[in-house]
Each structure stands twice: as C-alpha cells, then as structure tokens.
Amino acid sequence: MSQAPAYNPTVSFATEETNNAAGRSTVRTAAVDTELANIASSINALRENQSKIIRDDDKLLDGLVEPYALSEQTRALLATQGGNPRGNWQQNTDYAYKDIVQRNNIAQICLTPHNSGTVYNSVFWLGISGDGTSATNAANAAASATSAANSATTAASSASSASTSASTAASSASSASTSATNAENSATAAEAFADEAEQFRNETEGLINASTQKANQSEAEAGSNDTKFMTPLKTKQAIDQQVGSANSTPVKAALNANNAPPIYACRAWVNFNGTGTVAIRESGNVSSITDNGTGDYTVNFTTAMPDANYSVSGFSNRSGTGVGPRSPTFTDGETRTASAFQFSMITTGSTTRVDSTYCELQFFR
Amino acid sequence: MHVIIYKNDSGNIAVVYPTTEILQTRTVMEVAIKDVPAGKPFKIIDSSELPDAPQEAWEIDDAELSDGVGGESNEFN
C-alpha cells in the first residue's frame, strides 16, 4: 500500500475573483470539481491506509507489529532474554542459539547454532542494536542480574545457614551460660557448705576435746554418765568392763548366774532317738551320730574340743517294760578323743547294751 | 535322709547319721570323710534302704563301699 497522496491546492478562488480570471467572477466549477476530486482521492487513500492499522474499536490491528518494526531499544531488550553474551564475533567458533556477539559495533543474536567458519554469515544472525552496545550491555546486565540473583540466593542460603548456626550457637551459648551459672551456684553452695562443715567440725572438735565433755575410763566403764562423749577407746573399755568376759557381772546376770561362782559353757550337746533308724532331735556342735550297733553310739563333734578331757553329762529313759533305768556309759576300749565320743547305753544292773529312745548328752570343757 | 555306712574294726556295719545343723553348711560326703574312721571305705545310701533286722546281722560286700574313704582329719577342711 502506498501512502495517501498529499493534497496541495492548485487554484486560489479569491485571486481569480479579484483578477476576474477568464473574464468572469463566477466560480469555475470544473476546477472546483478537480480540486474536490483530488481531496477525495487523498482522503480515501488515508482511510484505506488507516483501516489497515486501526480496528473499528480504535485498537491497533491484530498481528500488525512485527519484531523488526519495534524500536532498537525494544528489540535489544527482548533479544537479551535468555541470551548468552560471547563478546566479539570470532572465526571458527561454535555458536549456539541466543549467543550474543558484537560485530562492527552491532550486537547480534544467533538464530541457528553453527560454526562461524572464516566468513561472517548474516543468515545465522539477527542484528539487535545499532551500535552494538545496548544489547550487549542489556545482556551483560541481565547476566549480571542473574548472577547477582544467584549470588543473592546463595548469600540468602548462607545467611539462613549462618542464622541457624548462630541460633544454634546462641542456644548452646545460652545452655553453656546456664550450666556455668548452675556450676557457679553449685560451687558457691559447696563452698558455703564446706565453710559450715569446717565450722561445725571445729566446734565439735572443740567440744570433744574439752576435758569436761569427754568421758574418762572410769566413767566409761561405769556407764552412768549420760552427758559426756565416748571415744572409740572409751567405748572399748566400757564394753570390756561390761561384757568382756563370760564371768563379767552383766553376762552372768543375763544368764541368771549371779554371785561369785564362775560359769562355764556347754561345748556340745545332742538329743536323739537311738532305736531303729537313729533320729536326731536337736544338737549343737555335733556333726553326726554313728550307730555302731545295738546300744553303741558315737557322737562326732563339728568343731573338736581342745582335748579329750571334757566332762560328759548324760541322760536316758527307762523302758516301760524294762527292768531298770538306762544310762550312757563310757566303756573301756571305746573311743574318746577331742573330735568324737563313743558311749554305750546300758540298763542298770546289766552289761547288755540296749537302744534307747532318749539319748541326751552334754559336753563341758 | 541320707546316711553313711561302713564296716568297723569288728566287721559290723556302722551307720553315720548327719545332724540337721551340719547339713545346713556341709554335704553328706564332707561329713562322711570327717566322721568315718580314717581309711575305712564307705557308702552313702538312703536310710530307707537300711535292713529291718538287728544291725549285727547286716552284711555288705566290701565292693559296695565305694563312695569314699574316711579321711585322716577329724575336722572339716
């Protein structure tokens, strides 16, 4: 479409009227018609052209604007989206889609991947700037912005990590501070307790060392004072005095063995049924009873006597149909040692051994 | 109840009855070694195995007394 022709008036009707052009003052209608025709042609051409640009709703016609119709700055801005600045164009170099180079001060963006070879081929490139600076700068700026954004992201991540670390460190520091405070408090309390203990020890030691507060031996042995302290030595002296021997007064009193005669202990004893299978009722310091035969027994001591010179006391029963009481008898030839005592159960007036239901013996030494 | 039997010097069979008190701290074998005369072989049996007859009439083969021999010491180790 060509542009609408310009309209330039060719007749001045006022001049012609003044000059009485053609000898008349009336309007030359033919000339006016021509003028109007020219105006109409121009206006119609304008209208046709306008219809190719503007829609009926006064909006710009769809699909009308193509990239090349955009301003250089706009094209440069669009071209740099995703572009990869590669510096000056180089020979024998592989270029990828959207690689941006400068050649003769014109920025160009690669449309088709290729190797540049030795001769520049404009088929592969689209010029996006007049002087080659704006697009490159924009691309560089975009790249820088991307890099900056990445750096910012990294920095943000690092900052977050640092923040977390700082938080953790702060928490640890807080815990450590709390622990330190607790430890300090504990140390202070321990120190105070130690001071109190030392003071108490000094006071106690002072009390114990005071001769008027510590019992002497006679007081300890008497056991009548109820206000003085007892040292270990005084305690031992008191015990020795009170129960240190079997014949001490308290021991004798406890055993109902009052007055002067000393007491001696039974060192072993046994009570068993010697008839049939021997049945030992109870015993003390006796490990076993040996049934050697009818009416013949041996008492074996768990712990041996100092010697065989112990004294034996015995008791038995009389059979309901027997002729006399039985008694334990030590017969010549029978064993009598520190560890065992053999005896016979014999009916009075007889020499015959008999088993007895009650065989009771006590050994004193 | 376990008892210990052995032959005494007269050839009769003697029976050793451990007391209850000693069995709280010692075994029947330990009592046997202590209370059976030194060098005499013995056997540990249940008292229910003892014959229901006069003890002087009991007999046993020496080979049966195979559980141990009375120790030299009359005290526990």
In sequence order, what DSSP letters do the residues of A3-15 get, joined into one string?
A: PPPPP-----HHH
* pLDDT tens-digit series, residues B6-50: 999 999 999 999 999 999 999 999 999 999 999 999 999 999 999
CA dist A234 and B74 (Å) reads 42
- Decide if B18 contacts B36 (C-beta within 8 A): no
From chain B residues 17-46, the ones with a CB under 8 A of any chain A CB are: 17-22, 26, 31, 34-35
Asked whether the beta carbons of residue A294 and residue B50 sit closer than 8 angstroms, the reply is: no
Asked whether the beta carbons of residue B31 and residue A287 sit closer than 8 angstroms, the reply is: yes
By the CB < 8 Å criterion, does A292 face chain B? yes
Each of the 365 residues of chain A gets a pLDDT tens digit; together they read 566 777 777 777 777 777 777 665 566 677 777 878 888 888 888 888 887 888 778 877 887 777 777 777 677 667 667 888 899 999 999 999 989 899 888 888 888 899 999 898 888 988 877 654 554 554 554 465 455 446 545 645 655 665 565 566 567 667 777 877 888 888 888 888 888 888 887 776 776 666 568 889 999 988 898 888 889 999 998 988 888 787 788 888 888 888 888 888 899 999 999 998 999 999 999 999 999 999 999 999 999 999 999 999 998 887 666 566 788 888 888 889 999 999 999 888 788 888 999 999 999 99
pLDDT at A88: 93
Looking at per-residue confidence, does B52 or A319 come out higher? B52
CA distance A297 to chain B (A): 9
pLDDT at B35: 96
Residues of B with Cβ-Cβ distance to A272 under 8 angstroms: 17
> Considering only alpha carbons, which residue of chain A is nearest residue B24?
A287
pLDDT at A152: 46
CA distance B22 to chain A (A): 5
By the CB < 8 Å criterion, does A337 face chain B? yes
pLDDT at A2: 64
> Per the confidence metrics, is the pTM higher than 0.95?
no
Residues of B with Cβ-Cβ distance to A300 under 8 angstroms: 16, 34-35, 74
Within 10 Å of residue A353's Cβ, how many Cβ atoms?
20
pLDDT at A166: 56
For tokens 């460190």, what's the residue?
A: A169
pLDDT at A297: 96
By the CB < 8 Å criterion, does A271 face chain B? no
Task: Give CA torsion, residues B68, B74, B75, B77, to 10 deg.
Answer: -40
Question: What is the predicted ipTM?
Answer: 0.93
Asked whether the beta carbons of residue B8 and residue A292 sit closer than 8 angstroms, the reply is: yes
CA distance A251 to chain B (A): 26
Residues of A with Cβ-Cβ distance to B35 under 8 angstroms: 287-288, 290, 300, 340
In sequence order, what DSSP letters do the residues of A141-199 get, joined into one string?
A: HHHHHHHHHHHHHHHHHHHHHHHHHHHHHHHHHHHHHHHHHHHHHHHHHHHHHHHHHHH
Residue count of chain B:
77
Residues of A with Cβ-Cβ distance to B21 under 8 angstroms: 282-284, 286, 302
Asked whether the beta carbons of residue A337 and residue B15 sit closer than 8 angstroms, the reply is: no
pLDDT at A274: 93
Question: From the list B4, B12, B35, which residue is nearest A293 (CB)?
Answer: B12
By the CB < 8 Å criterion, does A280 face chain B? yes
Asked whether the beta carbons of residue A284 and residue B50 sit closer than 8 angstroms, the reply is: no
By the CB < 8 Å criterion, does B77 face chain A? no
pLDDT at A269: 98
Q: Of the candidates A299, A290, A274, which has an alpha carbon nearest to the alpha carbon of residue A354?
A: A274
Query: In degrees, to the nearest 5, what angle opens at C-alpha A285 toward C-alphas A344 and A276?
Result: 40
